[in-house]
Amino acid sequence: MVGHEHGKHHIRARDFARVGPPCLRSATRWPALDPGRLAVLQEICAPTARLWLPARWEGSPLAETRAFGTDDGSAKTFGGDLRAFHAAEASRGEVLERTPDALAIEDPEPYRAWATAHGRTLLGLDVVQRERLARWLDRFAGAAGREPGSTAAPVELAELERAMLALPADDAPTDALEVARLMEDAELEQWLATSDRLARRPGLLEGLSPGRWMAAWRRRGLMNREGLCDGSALGAALHREIGLRPLRSRLVRVTTEVGEPCSLSQGR
């Protein structure tokens, strides 16, 4: 064992029992070495001793690198990779602190491939599109494992589309539609009944009925207040609104549920 005592390097046979490395415990032949060979051994080991213990070589994972070449090129490459790995590990805490909501993944390659394929599209979104994507993002979870349009919101939207397409076509003017849209439900039903009554060809008794005259007088007052001049257009608008209103209410409800709120004043 090479040691240092009072400034002199020497080997003490009685210290062999305290030598830790197994390969040195059986080195009982060392006391038989001549002083010259011991001096050479000392010169070789002494510079290494000050690095060996701090490096904690025994049990170190770096011991596995002994199976590889030790040429300068390999050592330089390994050293560069090891320093890069150390830098990445040193910055791990900073990255985790900066991205507290990041997901832990085992294999990043599929995500990296997806980002490469779709990253340009995401970067090209404007502010409004990004806000919509943020509102809809949770609803995309698990989309790969289910049939398209199988969740409640798409089913409801599809039904609403079919119902709206089934509504009869009309040429009601915008001003009459706006008047009908602003009516309360009970008022809408009342004016629709009045309009339908006045639209039917009256019989003899109906033509002389005071009720019909009062209905015509009230409708004329409504049209004068609202600046309307065509009773048939008002009737078409009332029919359109009575069929569209429940669908519009359902549309507002489902769009609000999916994060795209709108108001009744936005729909026609």
> What's the rounded Cα separation, in Å, for the pair 143 and 162?
24
- Phi then psi dihedrals of residue 56, to 5 deg: 50, 55
Q: Please indicate whether residue 206 or residue 107 has the higher confidence score (pLDDT).
A: 107
Residue 153 lies in a domain: no
C-beta separation of 16 from 28 below 8 A: yes
> What's the rounded Cα separation, in Å, for the pair 122 and 186?
48
What does the block give as tokens for 212?
Answer: 């019909």
Q: Of 44, 60, 76, which residue is a domain's last? A: 60
Confidence of residue 238 (pLDDT cuts 50, 70, 90): very high
228 pLDDT higher than 50: yes
Which domain range does residue 39 map to? 3-60
Mapping DSSP to helix (H, G, I), strand (E, B) and coil, where does residue 203 land? Answer: coil
Sequence-distant (6+) residues with CB within 8 A of 179 are 222, 226, 228, 234, 237
Q: How many separate domains does the chain show?
A: 2
Q: How confident is the model at residue 126, as a pLDDT?
A: 94
C-beta separation of 266 from 260 below 8 A: no
Residue 113 lies in a domain: no
Q: Please indicate whether residue 257 or residue 80 has the higher confidence score (pLDDT).
A: 80
What's this model's pTM, rounded to 2 decimal places? Answer: 0.48
Residue 212 lies in a domain: yes
Q: How confident is the model at residue 57, as a pLDDT?
A: 65
Q: Of 42, 60, 78, which residue is a domain's last? A: 60
Residue 69 lies in a domain: no
Q: Of 12, 37, 60, which residue is a domain's last? A: 60
Q: How confident is the model at residue 15, as a pLDDT?
A: 43
Each residue's pLDDT tens digit, 40-70: 878 887 777 777 777 666 677 777 777 777 7
The residue assigned the tokens 């390097």 is 9
> What's the rounded Cα separation, in Å, for the pair 244 and 188?
12
169-185 average pLDDT score: 88
Residue 36 lies in a domain: yes
Residue 55 lies in a domain: yes
84-95 average pLDDT score: 88
What does the block give as tokens for 242?
Answer: 């009575």
C-beta separation of 194 from 219 below 8 A: yes
What does the block give as tokens for 55?
Answer: 């490096």
244 pLDDT higher than 60: yes
**C-alpha 154: how far from chain center:** 20
Residue 218 lies in a domain: yes
C-beta separation of 24 from 1 below 8 A: yes
Residue 129 lies in a domain: no
Confidence of residue 183 (pLDDT cuts 50, 70, 90): very high
Contacts of 197-203 with C-beta under 8 Å, sequence gap 24+, read 198/231, 198/235, 199/231, 199/232, 199/235
What does the block give as tokens for 173?
Answer: 């003017």
Each residue's pLDDT tens digit, 10-29: 444 444 444 445 555 445 55
The residue assigned the tokens 């390969």 is 23
Q: How confident is the model at residue 12, as a pLDDT?
A: 44
Q: How confident is the model at residue 138, as a pLDDT?
A: 81
Each residue's pLDDT tens digit, 97-150: 888 888 888 888 998 999 999 999 999 999 989 988 888 888 777 777 788 777
